Amino acid sequence: MELDAAKMIGAGLATLGLGGVGIGLGTLFGNFVAGALRNPAAAPKVFPNLLLGVALTEALGIFSLLIGLLVLFG
C-alpha cells in the first residue's frame, strides 16, 4: 500500500476516538440535565463541575482530531 493511500485509511480510523468521546459527553450532559430538572435550584452550583468534566473529556476528542489531522497532512 502506498503512503498516500494509508493516510486516507488512518485518518478514517482516527474518528473512532471522536465517536467514543461523543458517547461520553452525551452521558455527561444527559446526567446533568436529568439532575438539573429534578433539582433546578442546585444547578448553578454544580455547573463548574460540569465544565471541568467537559474540558477533560473534550480534550480526548481534540487529541483524536489532532492525530487524524497529523495523519492526513503531517
* Amino acid of residue 48: P
First to last CA, the chain: 18
- Find the shortest distance in angstroms from Cβ 8 to its own copies: 4
- Find the shortest distance in angstroms from Cβ 73 to its own copies: 9
C-alpha cell at 17: 476516538
**Binding mask of the shown chain, residues 12 to 41, with x at each position contacting its own copies by CB under 8 A:** xxxxxxxxxxxxxxxxxxxxxxxxxxxxx-
C-alpha cell at 26: 452525551
- Contact residues toward its own copies (CB under 8 A) are 1-40, 42-43, 45-47, 49-50, 52-54, 56-58, 60-61, 63-65, 67-72, 74
